[in-house]
């Protein structure tokens, strides 16, 4: 990914995203992809 578009989030921001309630309209697969994107964004 080009550095110009790279985003960084703090561990506290990641924990907030991981622990917020799931959207009931989002499928399990979409939720899994969302969690994986957060993990990649935090370098983990």
pLDDT at residue 19 greater than cutoff 70: yes
Strand, coil or helix: what is 20? Answer: coil
Instruction: Specify the range with the lowest mean pLDDT, choosing from 11-15, 20-24, 34-38.
Output: 20-24
C-alpha 24/C-alpha 7 separation (Å) is: 27
Residue 5 lies in a domain: no
Please answer whether residues 42 and 9 qualify as being in contact, where contact means their C-beta atoms are separated by less than 8 angstroms: yes
What pLDDT is recorded for position 22? 72
Kindly state whether residue 15 falls inside one of the protein's structural domains. Answer: yes
2 in any annotated domain:
no
Is residue 22 assigned to a domain? Answer: yes
pLDDT at 14: 81
Whether 38 is covered by a domain: the verdict is: yes
Count how many domains the chain has: 1
CA 19 centroid distance within chain: 11
Q: Which domain holds residue 19?
A: 11-42
């Amino acid at each position: 990914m080009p550095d110009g578009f790279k985003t960084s989030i703090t561990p506290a921001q990641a924990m907030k995203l991981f622990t917020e309630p799931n959207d009931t309209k989002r499928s399990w697969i979409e939720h899994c992809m969302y969690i994986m994107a957060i993990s990649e964004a935090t370098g983990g």
